[in-house]
Amino acid sequence: MATIEVDQLSKSFRGLVAVDHVSFAVNEGEIFGFLGPNGAGKTTTVRMLCTLTRPSAGTARVAGWDIIREPNQVRKAIGIIFQEPSLDDRLTARENLRFHAMIYKVPKEEAKIRIARALEWMELSSRGDDLVRNFSGGMKRRLEIARALLHTPQVLFLDEPTLGLDPQTRNRIWERLLALRAENRMTLFLTTHYMDEAEYCDRIAIIDYGRIIALGTPTELKARLQGDQVVLMTADNLRAAAEIRRRYGVEPALDRENLRFQVADGAQFVPRLVRELGVPILSVMVRPPTLDDVFLALTGREIRDEEASEREKLKSRLQRMGRVWR
């Protein structure tokens, strides 16, 4: 039996369909990823699976329990790292962890050991008794991750867990998650925008407008794009794009500096391109497809870099609070 079984799960908010009849299953010990652009319905799905939001239709079972009829059993089995902040910043790091251990009924002595270990793991030992409000964003995130693991959940939900963390920290966190999976058969359900993080997943569902539009292992998904990605920089990208469209019948994607498109055999194509293109080429590169390319091919859009919009959200949040304090 699968650890997470999702059956026609849907959620709408006053007419807006956030999650649209989604079905999938996640096996024990699997790392399952949700990949999708802003507003795709990732967080809403996680919130439903975690019993925080009631589905409008459909249901799901987590660790064998029904999320609607047996929410408390589900809660016992899961841990979650929320996308949005969830610490009490007027408390110290250690207090945040201690309170977590309390409501999850970790015995006191055991909790002490785990808290010390968690702080050490996240390199927060020296700041354990500082108020969380004085922490940097990355430190808060590390604390949240350590907290979610404190009660050794059977199923861990991670909603963009490593957003805003530096690469070393992300690596260390992933090492630990992989180790926990190996030790305890912990099941991981994560949402992410980072392609390299998506590569850790055993399977990935690509979600857009509340629907799963593709599901498979990263290798399978990439194999769907038969051929190679050509990344090209020219003296005039717009003109080059028009010419490529006309001459080879492919639609290049344009970003700030590059043109990108797919061809069946990159090695054979490049010499031809260099010979035929009327616009001076500054650089050309051929590489195998990434999940980014898969996403682009499926949706016609790129997964937008999330950090800018996160910053926007934070800003509006702070403004809201400012109003309250004034």
Ligand X SMILES: Nc1ncnc2c1ncn2[C@@H]1O[C@H](COP(=O)(O)OP(=O)(O)OP(=O)(O)O)[C@@H](O)[C@H]1O
Q: Where do contacts with Mg ion occur on this chain (CB under 5 A)?
A: 42-43, 83
Contact with ligand X (CB under 6 A) among 10, 44, 169, 258: 44
CA–CA gap between residue 132 and residue 127 (Å, rounded): 9
CB of 277 to ligand X, least distance (A): 37
The entry of Mg ion, another protein, ligand X, none near residue 326 (CB within 5 to 8 angstroms by kind) is none
Measured distance CA(27)–CA(12) in Å, rounded: 27
127 binds ligand X (CB under 6 A): no
Give the orientation angle of helix 93-103 with respect to helix 137-149, to 10 degrees: 20
What is the contact surface with another protein in residues (CB under 8 A)?
50-54, 72-73, 75-76, 78, 80, 82, 84-91, 95, 99-100, 102-105, 320-321, 323-324
Q: In what order do the strands lie in the sheet with 16-26?
A: 16-26, 4-13, 57-62, 65-66
Q: Cα separation of 195 and 193, whole Å?
A: 6
Residue whose CB is less far from Mg ion, 31 or 81: 81
Partner touching 161 among Mg ion, ligand X, another protein, none, CB below 5 to 8 Å by kind: none
Q: Is the Cβ of residue 163 or residue 241 nearer to ligand X in the bound state?
A: 163
Among residues 115 and 231, whose Cβ is nearest to another protein?
115
Site track 101-120 with ligand X (rule: CB under 6 A), x = hit: --------------------
Q: Which CB sits closer to ligand X, 47 or 140?
A: 47
Least separation in angstroms between CB 84 and another protein: 5
Please identify, using beta-carbon distances, which residue of 85 and 216 lies nearer to another protein: 85
Torsion of CA 12, 203, 310, 18, to 10 degrees: -10
DSSP conformation class of 150: T
Structure tokens at 165: 């963390």
Hey, what's the torsion of the CAs at 25, 20, 62, 219, to 10 degrees? Answer: 30
Which run of H or E residues covers position 113?
helix 108-121
What does the binding site for ligand X look like in residue numbers (CB under 6 A)? 13, 16, 18, 36, 38-44, 83
